[in-house]
Structure 1
């Protein structure tokens, strides 16, 4: 019997490691991006479940419907991924920064993230990702389980996942019933006519408790990042910290 993934407490500390380009976007736009699961950095996001189920006795009979269901979820679920760790992680700097190794780590907690985001008309949920190497066919009945389960190889991420489902976008963004119906049919048929990214306004002052600059930044690069913060969000200057990684 499957269990619904656990929600973290509001006090749980979370981090987001991002490259300099994404950090600049957050500063300039005051928004946070929820990305469609099908275009996430992990190309096997949700999709790994199908490979895992191929050996099950039910898969041969239900392969087509299972594949369609997974595809629909990948094309209708928007995610924002954070790591739930008390302290900085060296390995996550390496995972999430590009070849320039420039970026920041944003420290917050679950409760402040929820309060900081302007959810507009969207409903949302969140959970601690469950890492395992087995997935049972009957678990396909529960979308929350599917969305928040990953292969054990990614366990180092210790992910907390905030997510919005595509049907919410359909219901809230259109007034005319005929338009809602057409987009709903596109969704059910797997036609990709919807947004790849949803941008939501966010209160950075409420969100950010600490802003750590990449340990791989040179002195002049650090100065440029600090100047950027001073120009666009000076109230965050006293939250800038140095990494404990010294390489």
Structure 2
């Protein structure tokens, strides 16, 4: 279940559009399992994920002089935080298609902030939080650390193009095994508003997606991306 946190910032408009770009296998896994995969934060490609900026790290080092376990905890904490990343954008993103779909057989889920909040179902052992990522200069700017989620809601300015909003769960005090991540319960019909098919996909691929979605008893609106629509001259 989504829990609000006054320290975590989100766009004020619940109708703010968000996207998730993924390949067909991951999409089918989502529909069949009715569970959303959340990646372990230290498994992301960005090695700075869940770490601190230089000004914050210097402060933490000072606090750790008499308590070395304080710093050790922050280093190991990343292994127990899981994340599902979504892209904020009113429109499709050509860059996101390029980065997150390996070939033309990919698709994009369109949702909204409000839908994400409502789609998260109750987990007995942990809560989910949703927050917008802040993009800062890690050499100059400070990341607060009074809230355990803050390191996971800041990224380097080089990643600003991601315009990311995240579903986050912290499992550091839970006896839950995490390999590359874990799956959480979601209301699929609430989570997904519309499906867009890869702009370079063939017609057979859209037909396949439509057929698979229908066989799994979902009725999402499915459209071909308009990034490759006919040129008007």
TM-score relative to the length of structure 2:
0.81
Q: Return 87-96 or 115-124, whichever deviates more.
A: 115-124
Give 1:42-61 correspondences, 5 Å limit.
42-47=46-51, 49=52, 52-53=54-55, 56=58, 59=61
- Tell me the distance in 1 between the aligned counterparts of 2:58 and 2:187: 46
- Tell me the distance in 2 between the aligned counterparts of 1:105 and 1:57: 41
The answer to whether the aligner puts 1:211 opposite 2:195 as a matched pair is yes
Q: Structure 2 regions of 5+ residues with no counterpart?
A: 1-5
Q: How many residues align?
A: 219
Contact 2:56–2:144 (CA under 8 A) maintained in structure 1: no
Partner residue, 1:245: 227
* Root-mean-square deviation over aligned CA pairs: 2.8
Q: Give the 3 Å change call, closer, same or farther, for CA 16–55 of structure 1 in structure 2.
A: closer
Contact 1:58–1:137 (CA under 8 A) maintained in structure 2: no
Q: Return 53-62 or 134-143, whichever deviates more.
A: 53-62
Contact 1:4–1:144 (CA under 8 A) maintained in structure 2: no
- Tell me the distance in 1 between the aligned counterparts of 2:135 and 2:185: 30
Q: Give the 3 Å change call, closer, same or farther, for CA 206–137 of structure 1 in structure 2.
A: closer
Give 1:178-217 correspondences, 5 Å limit.
194-217=178-201
- Tell me the distance in 2 between the aligned counterparts of 1:57 and 1:71: 15
TM-score relative to the length of structure 1:
0.77
Give 1:30-69 correspondences, 5 Å limit.
30-47=34-51, 49=52, 52-53=54-55, 56=58, 59=61, 62=64, 68-69=72-73
Q: Structure 1 regions of 5+ residues with no counterpart?
A: 174-192
Partner residue, 2:85: 81
Contact 2:104–2:201 (CA under 8 A) maintained in structure 1: yes
Q: Deviations over 1:65-119 (max 9, x none)?
A: 6752432221111111111111111111111112x23211111112212222223
Q: Deviations over 1:141-195 (max 9, x none)?
A: 432321100001110111111101013633xx6xxxxxxxxxxxxxxxxxxx644
The answer to whether the aligner puts 1:227 opposite 2:216 as a matched pair is no
Q: Return 100-109 or 58-67, whichever deviates more.
A: 58-67
The answer to whether the aligner puts 1:29 opposite 2:33 as a matched pair is yes
Among candidates 90, 111, 118, match of residue 121 of structure 2:
118
